[in-house]
Chain A
Amino acid sequence: MKKPVLIIAPLIVACAAAFALQQSYLPESATAGETIRSALLGGAKGSSAQADSAGEYVVAQSGRTPARRTQPALEQPPAPATTPKVDETALRYFARQGDQRRLAAEIARLRALYPDWTPPADPLAVPVQTDASLDAMWKLYADGKLAELRKAVQDRQSTEQGWTPPADLMDRLDLAEAREQLINASDLKQYDTVIRVGAAHNSLMTCSEIDVLWRTAEAFAKTDREARAKAAYAYILDTCTDPAERLATVQKALPLLTRPDLDTLLAKAKILPDGKSEFDSIRDDLARKAVADAGSDPKLVVPQPDIERVEKLATATTGPSDPLILGWYYLRRNNFEAAEKWFKLSYDRESAPSSAQGLALAMIARSRPAEAEAVMYEWRDSSDDTKAVYMAAVANLLAQDPPVEIAPAILQRMVPEVLEAKDANAAQQLGWYAYLLNQFETASGWFSMALQWKPDDEPSSYGLVLTRQQLGDAAGVAAIQRRWAGRSERIARLGEQRKTRQPGLAPSPERFGDTLEQTQLRPTLTTPLALQDMPASTSPPTPPAPPRTLADEVAETISRQRADAYEQPALQTEQAPRPRSPEARPRQAPRGATNNAGARSVRGCTTTIDPQALSPENALSRGWCLMDINRPLEAAAAFERGLLSRSEAQRSDAAYGQSLAYLRAGLSDKAAVAASKARQQQSRQIELDIALLSSRATEAFNAGRPNEAILALDQRARIAPERTDLMILRGYSYMKLNRLADALRIFEAVAATGNKEGLRGIATIRAIRNKEY
C-alpha cells in the first residue's frame, strides 16, 4: 500500500515563488559596487591616477547605431590638429597646491593626450606663473564649482581685452559639466541622455572615469543595446587595472547581461598571486543566482558546475542561505531526498520559516507527514505560506494509508488549526480519519464542515454519503445522491457497492485513489511520485480474499503501539454503557475475584495468562471475567483473541466487549476501532456511539477544547437525549467560548429541573457579566 501524498505540488510552486521573491536573489555585489562608485565619485573630478596607458578612450559613438568591433573599442582622442603646445598650467597649479593625486592624474591625462610629451622633472622648479586670477579659476575647477568657473572666465574675457582661457581649462570644464549632466541623468534613469552626453564626450570614456564608463554601459543595457553594454564592460576589463574597480565592473554587469555575455567577461579574469581567479566570488554569486532562479522555475536548466559550486559553498560555509537555495532547487526537481538533506542543513543552521517550509514539503513528499507537522507547527502562523504548508502536513498526516494512530496531543493541536484555517481538505481528512475509526457521527461532522467551506467538494460529499449510509440515514444518502446525480458515479453507485461490503466496516482503501482521480486533483502533482503512489488497489473493485480491511490494519497498527495505552489514565468508566441484551452477555458473574461461577469464568481470571493460548471461546469468557474484576486492558486482549471465533455471534460479542473494555480504560479511539471489528446489532452500535461521544465530549472539555466538546455533544444529541451532566458540560463549554447567552440558556434549563449545578452555572454567568460591566 503506497501512502498517499495529497496535493502539495501547487504549494511547492507557491512557496518556492514566494521564497524567490523574498530573496530576490542577487548577489550583494550591487551594493558593494555602489560603495566603490561613490568612493570614486568623490575623487572623480580630479580623477584617480591610473589613466597611464595611452589610447584609453572607449568609443561611445552615437548611441543609436550598433557598433561592431573586433577589438575592444579604442579610439584615439580628438587629436589636436596642430602640433600641440602642451598646456601645463593645471599641472603646475596642482603641483603648487601640493595636490599629488590631481597632479598624477593630470600627468596621466596629458600623456594620454600627447603621447610624445614628457612631464617636467619637477613641476615646481618651473618659474612660478603669477596669474592669481587663473589660479582662482583652477581652484573653482578643483572645487567642482563649474558654473562659477564659467562666469569667472567670461568676466575676465569681458574685462581683459585679448585674454583667452587656457584650452586645457575649457576642455576640462566641458568634460566636468558633461560628467555632471551624465551622472544626474543616470541617477534619474534618463538613459538616452546618458548615451547622448557620453557620445559627445569621448574623453570621458577612460579608466579614470570608471563611474562614467559604468553608467554608460548601464545605459546601453537599459536601452536594449546589450552588445554595446557588453563591449563597454569588456573594454574596462581589457584596459583598466584597479582590482576593486574590475571586480565592481563585473558585479555591475551581473544583473544587466545574459549569462553567456557574463561568461565572456569572466573569462577576462586575471589569476591572482595566490593562484585564485580574480572573479571567483562572482562565479560563486552567479552559480548561486542560477540555482536560486531554478528554485522558482523548474524548467530552468542549471549547468552542473554551478550546482557543484553551490553545493561546495553550502558545505564550506556555515550560513543557512546556500543550503536553502539548493533545497528549493531539488524540491522543484522532485529530488525530495536531496531537498530534505539541504533544507535540513539550512534549518539546523538557522531555524526560519523558509527552511521549515521546504523541509516540511520534502518530508510530506517523502510520506513523513508526522515529522512535517512537527516541524511546521512552530511556524504555522508566520505567513500564509507557512500556514498552507502546515495544513498540507495535517491533511497528509490524517490521510496516511494505512492510518496510523495520531497521538492525542497532536490531534488536539491540529483540530483548532483546521477550524481556524477553515481548511476544507484537512476537514475532509479528519472526516476520513474518524470514519476509519468508525466514529461516524464525528466523520459526518467533519465532512459537513468541509462542505461548508468548500460546497462542491465531491470527496467530502462522498465521505458524507458513506457516513450517512453507515448511520442508516437512507433519506440523507438519497439527498446527496440526488445532488450529485450525473456528477459522481461512485456516489450514485453507493447502494450497489454496499452489497459487497460488510456494513460497519471501513470502506476499501481505494477511496484515496478514487477521490483524487475523480476530482482531477492528482494530475497537478506532476511528479514521478504522483505516478508511483497511485494506489495499486485502484484496480480490484472487490478486494481479494482474505479481505483485510483498513480497519484491520488500523487495529494492527494500534495493537503494535499498545504499550502506550498503559500510560493512559482510566477515565469515564461510569459512562460506559451497560450491556442491555442479556443473551449477549449474561452478567451473573459475581465480582469475586476467584469466583468460577458462570460459563465464561470457568477457570477464573485472576492469574495472568497469555490469551493466545486460549481458544477463542475461552478467551471471550475470560474477557468478560476480566471486565467484571475491572481489568479492562487485559480484557481487551482477551477479546482480541475472541474475535477469531468462527461464530459470527461470538465475534460480535468479542468486538462489543473489547470496545467496552477500551471505553472503560478511557481509550475511546481504540474503543471505536474495536466496535468496528465485527458487525454489531444496531442497538449495540448506537449504545457504543453514545458512550464514545460522551467520552469524547468530556475529554475535549477537560483538555480545554470546548469547541470540540460542543461538536461531540451535538453529534451525540442527534442519537440520544442529552443527559443533565452533559448539559452542564455544554453550558460550561459555551461559557469558555464566551457564548454567555447560550450558556445561560442551558444552565437555566438544567436549573428548571431543580439541579443545583444549573443554579451554580447561572450564578457563575452572572458573576462574569457583572465583572464585565
Chain B
Amino acid sequence: MRAYACLLCLLLAWAGSGVAMAQNLSGTVKPADWAAYKSRFIDAGGRVIDDANGNISHSEGQGYGLLLAYLANSKADFDLIWSFTKTELLLRDDGLAMWKWDPSAKPHITDSNNASDGDILIAYALLLAGGEWERNDFIGAAKTIIGGIGKSNVVKWQDRLLLLPGAKGFSESDRTDGPIINLSYWVFEAFPKFASIDKTTDWMQLSMTGVGLLNKASAGPRSLPTDWMSAKTQLKPAKGFPAEFGYNALRIPLYLMRARIYDRELLTRLRKGMTSESGQVVITDSDSGNVKETLSDAGYAIIPALVACVLDKVKLPEAVRSFEPSLYYPSTLHLLSLSFAHSQHPECL
C-alpha cells in the first residue's frame, strides 16, 4: 500500500515535469550523429529501414525516426519522414498506422494490424514537434492517433487499464490466454503529453498500471519481465511467443528513465537481470535464466550503463559515449540514450 502511494507521488511529480522536460529536448541529438543515423537508416523518400529485418519498415521505426528528427531539431527530416508515414501507413479506418510495410510486396502493406508502440511514438513525436514548431497540422494528426489508440488498444481488464499490442489478435476474446501485453510498448514519456490533450482515456492510469505490472513481472532466477505476457490472471509468458527477456524488453529501463520514473528498486533489478557476469547485455530465457544471446552493441550496452549512472553516478564507459551506426534498432536506442544523457544527465558523459 505504501509502495503504491509512493508510486503515485512519483508519477504526479513526473507528470508535472513533462512539459518542462519536453521544451529542452529538441537539439539533444547531435547533428553529426543524426546525419550518420539517417544516412544509414532513412531513405530519400522518408522511409525508416529496419536493416536487420529484411529492410522492411514499420510504424515503430517511423515513430522513432520522427522522434529522433525532432530531438535532432531537423524540421526538414521530420517533414520527410512524416510525409511517408502519413501517406503509406496512416491508412487504417480507426486512424492508426498499419504496422508493416514491405518494399518487395505489392501492396506494400503486408499486415494491416497496428502496433500500439508505433502509434504512440508517432503521436508523441507529432505532439512534441507540433508544440515546439507551432505546427497545428501535427497536433491535429496526433490527436486523431491518440484517440485511435484509446479506442482500439486501451482496454479495461479487471479494473485496470491495459495497453494491447495491437487492435487484433491480443484481446481476451482473441485468445484463450488473452489479454496479452508487452510492457515495452508502454512508452512512458508519451503518456503525460497524451493526458494533456486527450481526456477520453485516462493515460496516467494506464501509465501507472504499466509501472505496477513491471513491479510484478519478476520471473525466473533473473527476476525479469518476459517480452510477451498473458495478463489474464497472474502475469505469465504468453503462449506461442518465446518466453524470454528479449529485444523488446531490454528498452524498458530506457523508457522508464526517459520518463524520469527513477524507481531505484525496479531499475536496479532490470539492470542486474539484463547484465551478464562479464557486464554485457544478455537475452535470457525466462524460466531458466540461461543466456540465449549476448549483445555487444553499444546501443544495448548503454542502457544498463545509463541506469548505473542515473542511480549511482557511474560515468558512462567511453565505448558507449560516441555514436557509430550499427543496425537500426540498437542505433536507435543508442541515440535515444545519448539524447537523454545530454539533456538530463550531462554528468554521465
* A residues lining the B interface (CB < 8 Å): 145-148, 150-155, 157-158, 177, 180-181, 184-185, 187-188, 190-193, 196
Contacts and interface: CB of A to CB of B under 8 A. Distances in A.
Interface stretch (B72-80, B189-197, B264-272): B72-80
B107 A192 contact: no
A153 B82 CA distance: 14
Interface string B154-194: 00000000000000000000000000000000000000000
B87 interface: yes
Interface in B78-97: 78-84, 86-88, 90-93, 95
B68 to A, nearest CB: 15
A185 B91 contact: yes
A148 B75 contact: no
A192 B148 CA distance: 13
Contact of B83 (A146, A184, A196): A146
Contact of A188 (B76, B81, B107): B107
A438 to B, nearest CB: 68
B98 interface: yes
Given A147-B46, A148-B44, A187-B107, A181 B80 contact: no
B223 interface: no
Interface residues of B, number: 25
A152 B44 CA distance: 11
23 contacts: A147-B45, A147-B79, A147-B83, A148-B46, A150-B46, A151-B46, A151-B76, A151-B79, A153-B79, A154-B78, A158-B76, A180-B87, A180-B88, A184-B87, A184-B88, A184-B107, A184-B109, A187-B107, A188-B109, A190-B93, A190-B112, A191-B93, A192-B93
A333 to B, nearest CB: 43
Nearest to A195: B93
Contacts of B86: 177, 181
Contact of B80 (A148, A177, A190): A148
Nearest to B76: A154
Interface string B88-116: 10111101001000000001010010000
A145 B45 contact: yes
A188 B91 contact: yes
Interface string B227-243: 00000000000000000
Contacts of A191: 93
Most buried by A among B75, B81, B83: B83
A582 to B, nearest CB: 89
Nearest to B46: A147
A140 to B, nearest CB: 10
B129 to A, nearest CB: 11
A180 B88 CA distance: 8
A773 B77 CA distance: 78
A157 B75 CA distance: 10
A739 B204 CA distance: 81
A192 B98 CA distance: 14
Give 10 nearest A-B pairs by CB, closest first.
A147-B83, A154-B76, A147-B46, A192-B93, A151-B80, A150-B79, A180-B87, A185-B91, A155-B76, A151-B76
Contacts of B78: 154
B91 A148 contact: no
A177 B87 contact: yes
Contact of A154 (B75, B92, B93): B75
Most buried by A among B44, B77, B79, B91: B91
B161 to A, nearest CB: 25
B82 A150 contact: yes
A147 B98 CA distance: 19
A147 B107 CA distance: 19
Contacts of A148: 44-46, 80
Contacts of A154: 75-76, 78-80
Contacts of A152: 76
Nearest to A181: B87
B77 A151 contact: yes
B84 A147 contact: yes
Given A147-B45, A147-B84, A188-B112, A193 B76 contact: no
Given A147-B83, A158-B75, 19 more contacts: A145-B45, A147-B46, A150-B82, A150-B83, A151-B77, A151-B80, A154-B75, A154-B79, A154-B80, A158-B76, A181-B91, A184-B88, A185-B91, A188-B107, A188-B109, A190-B93, A192-B93, A193-B91, A196-B95
B253 to A, nearest CB: 34
B144 to A, nearest CB: 9
Interface string B42-59: 001110000000000000
A422 to B, nearest CB: 43
Given A151-B77, A154-B76, A181 B84 contact: no
Nearest to B84: A147
B112 A147 contact: no
A481 to B, nearest CB: 57
Contacts of B92: 190, 193
Contacts of B93: 190-193
Nearest to B133: A154
A713 to B, nearest CB: 62
A180 B45 CA distance: 13
A155 B79 CA distance: 10
Contacts of B75: 154, 157-158
Nearest to A151: B80
Contacts of B112: 188, 190
A145 B83 CA distance: 10
Contacts of A158: 75-76
Contacts of A180: 87-88
A188 B98 contact: yes
Contacts of A151: 46, 76-77, 79-80, 83
Interface in B106-153: 107, 109, 112
Contacts of A193: 91-93, 95
Nearest to B107: A187
Contacts of A157: 75
Contacts of A150: 46, 76, 79-80, 82-83
A613 to B, nearest CB: 91
B178 to A, nearest CB: 25
A181 B45 CA distance: 15
A193 B148 CA distance: 12
A188 B90 CA distance: 11
Most buried by A among B79, B81, B87: B87
Contacts of A155: 76
Contacts of A181: 86-87, 90-91
Given A154-B76, A158-B76, A184-B107, A190 B91 contact: yes
B91 A177 contact: no
A346 B157 CA distance: 64
B125 to A, nearest CB: 15
A154 B82 CA distance: 12
A196 B148 CA distance: 14
A153 B83 CA distance: 13
A692 B91 CA distance: 80
